[in-house]
Amino acid sequence: QVQLVESGGGLVQPGGSLGLSCAASGSIFNIGAMGWYRQAPGKQREMVAIITRGGSVNYADAVKGRFTVSRDNAKNTVYLQMNSLKSEDTAVYFCNAVRYGVHYWGKGTLVTVSA
């Protein structure tokens, strides 16, 4: 089992920045891709950004150029730096990790972009 704990959510004004982090614990050997998904009220969960163990990244079109995903394999931690935030970025952000084909999820952290 892999446990994921997110931190860093909160309220930010449009145009502002916020950083999220997610630490993995438990059976962390051979964790593969890690990343972030989000779910806005009344919408389905969607991929935001994914990073492989080797550092290859993939972003949703809606966040390209504004968000940056990174990871520290030694700390088993994945980060999401969010800049130029928009109201439509408001959502619960979930950390995700894949290990031997099994997806693990954090409980989520709320990001609210509002004036």
Give the pLDDT of residue 28.
82
pLDDT surpasses 90 at 27 = no
How many whole angstroms from its chain centre is CA 15?
19
The average pLDDT across 24-32 equals 88
What percent of the chain stands above pLDDT 90? 93
Pairing of strands 57-59, 34-39: unpaired
Give 42's contacts (C-beta < 8 A, 6+ positions apart): none
The average pLDDT across 12-36 equals 94
55-109 pLDDT per residue, tens: 999 999 999 999 999 999 999 999 999 999 999 999 999 999 999 999 999 999 9
